[in-house]
Structure 1
Amino acid sequence: MVNLTYLFDPLCGWCYGAAPAIRLLAAQADFHLRALPTGLFCQPGRTIDADFAAHARRNDQQIAALTGQVFSDAYRENVLGSNTGFDSTPMVDALTAVALHRPERELSALAAFQTARYVDGRDVTDADVLADILQALDLHEAAAIITRPATRVAAQTRISEGRACAQSLGLQGVPQLLVQPAGQHILPQALPGKLLFGDLAQLPAQIRQLV
């Protein structure tokens, strides 16, 4: 068994680009994957201005070219063009709510949030929108506790753990994937980031070679 720790932020476009790789790895029978947010974009009050929107569009074009992930007109118009929020705190809270009740569904919830943003053009910095998405996924218990103080505390604990993992290996930014053989008390090693955007058919074998 190989333990994988996925460090991410739900508002990170590159994490959206890495989503196909993460889905593939999560489906491997000999891999155990857990996701930890780092809080990179937990910035209450921040909104998308024109300069940031232009920066995001440039990144989006690179990500789409590498991965084939969709960045729709609805996203460009309703999210980048509408001065919406850019604070991942509500999303981290919502994902933590899922992790508390149905941890095996967290990655599918993350994928649904990413699709809602980048394909459907919805404002996923709005807790009501997130609750609506979780309801549609039949994650009613998680939807009910997104804004509870206990969920925020649990989310902050996860962020602290994610940051500690990154700092222990001198890592900056997301996405990051840490690889560690199960049962061995050694520091995990970070997978070269380019592998998450390369030939996905080779990715599981490349990780097995590391351990």
Structure 2
Amino acid sequence: MTTTLITGANKGLGFETARRLVEAGHTVYVGSRDPERGRRAAELLGARTVVLDVTDDASVAAAARAIEADGGLDVLVNNAGIERNESGAAEVTADTLRTTFDTNVFGVVRVTHAFLPLLHRSAAPVVVNVSSGLASKTLVSTVGTPTYAYPGVAYPASKAALNMITVQYAKAFPDMRINAVEPGYTATDLNGHSGTQTVEEGAEIIVRMARVRPGGPTGGYFDAEGPLPW
């Protein structure tokens, strides 16, 4: 039995990823900051729930202890993320970046670090970091593309940092499969449901990489069509 934790899984891409992995036979923990929302989501999914605020050390440590006591972890999906106050270069401040990085970057490191001991005990450990096409410096600098037109600084910078973290972790832990994925412009609360894809479409690459087997890709950056340029 594969045991999977998904952060920010009470809605959106996290919820759909949890639904698909439960369907595939995983024991799934719905990580949620809000205990009641997490409980309701887990009941709908046939999953388990754990209170988990990726910005809080004590919350993350408590979640790791709870999941360890229940038997351990095989797959970690770092899905929780925010896109707020997306100021352009003329208006962005250090405080804006700090808020975004606390969830999208520091939160991923905080959670991954806490769960590394459990992942090391798994026969087939996997980490999936939910990134963005906006993390690609190649795509963002290509004139005429939607990514080029995006004016914000904090969100793409945080996801570019997440990509580097993914590569460095993958190099450090070659027995794990650790990858970054780009779900695509998916209609979720993150973008006010302005995305052009459904959550079913967006979750496809997350689910695929959560199910990667030993010997599969690691240290990569993928969307549903294949590898993306850094």
Q: TM-score, normalised by structure 2?
A: 0.29
TM-score (norm 1): 0.31
Quick check: which one's helix share is greater? 1
